[in-house]
Amino acid sequence: MATQKKSNIHILDGNQAAAIAAKLSRVQVIAAYPITPQTPLTEQLSQYVEAGELQAEYVAVESEHSAMAVCTSASLVGARAFTATSSHGLAYMHEMLHWAAGARLPIVLACVNRAIGAPWNVLNDQQDSIAQRDTGWIQIYCRNNQEIMDSVIQAFRIAEIVHVPVMVCYDGYILSHTEMPVDIPDQAAVDRYLPAYQPHTVLDPSNPKNYNLVTLANPRVGVDGKLCHGYMELRYLLQEALQNSRETILQAGREFNEVFGRDYSDMFWEDREDAEITIVAMGSLAMEAIVAADMLREEGIRVGVLGLRVFRPFPKSDVVRALRKSKLIVVFDKNISYGSEGATCSEIKSALYGTYINASIRNFIVGLGGRDIKARELVDATKKAIASLKETVINPDYPEWICQI
């Protein structure tokens, strides 16, 4: 594919980047319910439709549950569907997230990460999307607004090949309401990169079909005499699709680089692979971690950063490769699985189990409900993790919290 040579840089916040990306992806149906901090994104999309700049149906629904129901129906009949939400909205959508994934529909959802009540809070953490981890959606996390733009476009490409919906997650306010330079791809290049959606379910009145009716546990013989999947076979296929989606995600990233000159050919972002100490973080926190790593290196401590980009499917083998030289892994999580630890920490531990890597792993919970995270705090936490290798300064079984309790 021919590369888009000219850059077209604008100063955009994260919501604007997502809205422009949805428009460039020529979405045909948008169904969304406004919720802080996602609201400006839906406002922008409804303006595009109202002004005739985007040939799409904008369905003003009464809830997020309905938003995903509309997207599911639209996708089933062959439309490219997009929605966006945050926090309680995503929680309310929970049931329909399962329906979209189970029906294998390539819907793209922008999740503007926000804390969940109680107590009420509109600021950022990643508890909302992490709580939807097991719905069968691919999850991609963005570090900056350029990645939001690029990831939404790639998300449609990936979803429509593997038939799995994709959640593009980005931090509320930190990205959604913060402006930074973003290169806007040109429409012709996006059209080349993202061909028209080919649905796997074709609704045709002359050949009526049922989709996702009561499906018993065991396979059954259909009216055409063929043995059809039972519930469990269909669940297997969803797991298989996510397991195998890595290749498609990487391919979509490589081809994106060929057309737009920005490389997404890995499942994570890596900064200094020689490091013996690796900080792991996801979303915009990975950028903060790079600042902290720089400060530590100035003090002579060799620290690298692994920024997780794709959380589902979790890139086990890639993470093992990235962490091969690590002696200590410090995982910062903006979410908590209560009674256990941060979700990304669990994933890292699970990926390393049974490999030759015998690194110590320490977990810190940070930034919940928009609590400011200073690079200095990440530096201090990393030093505490280093000290814990020699003396018991923290309980290695449970995460440390960076707060004032």
Partner 1 sequence: MGTRECNHICDESSPGIGEAGITGEWRIEVPSIDEKKCIPARSNKPTCFLCWLYCPEAVITKGIPPSINLEYCKGCGICSQVCPVQAITMLPEEKM
Point out which residues bind partner 1 (CB under 8 A): 102-104, 163, 200-201, 207-216, 219-224, 226-230, 233-234, 237, 241
Toward partner 1, which CB reaches closer, 6 or 226?
A: 226
Nearer to partner 1, 226 or 390 (CB): 226
Of residues 62 and 204, the one with the C-beta less far from partner 1: 204
Tell me the closest approach of the beta carbon of residue 129 to partner 1, in angstroms.
Answer: 23
Residue type, 261: G
In the complex, minimum distance from the CB of residue 231 to partner 1, in angstroms, rounded to a whole number: 8
Alpha-carbon distance of 266 to 110, in angstroms, equals: 21
Minimum distance from residue 316 beta carbon to partner 1 (Å): 24
CA distance 254 to 263: 6
- Residue 37: closest CA among 7, 15, 20: 15
Closer to partner 1 by CB, 34 or 78: give it.
78
Q: How far is the CB of 56 from partner 1 (least distance, A)?
A: 24
Pairing label, strands 166-171, 108-113: parallel
Q: How far apart are CA 8 and CA 6, in angstroms?
A: 7
Q: From the CB of 100, what's the least distance to partner 1, in Å? A: 10
Q: Are 271 and 302 in contact (CB under 8 A)?
A: no
Q: Which residue, 51 or 223, is less far from partner 1 as judged by CB?
A: 223
Query: Coil, helix or strand for 267?
Result: coil
* Minimum separation from the CB atom of position 355 to partner 1 (A): 32
Q: Angle CA(262)–CA(267)–CA(273) in degrees, nearest 5?
A: 90
Relative to beta strand 268-271, strand 310-312 is unpaired
The answer to whether 201 and 164 are in contact (CB under 8 A) is no
Residue closer to partner 1 by CB (options 74, 149) is: 74
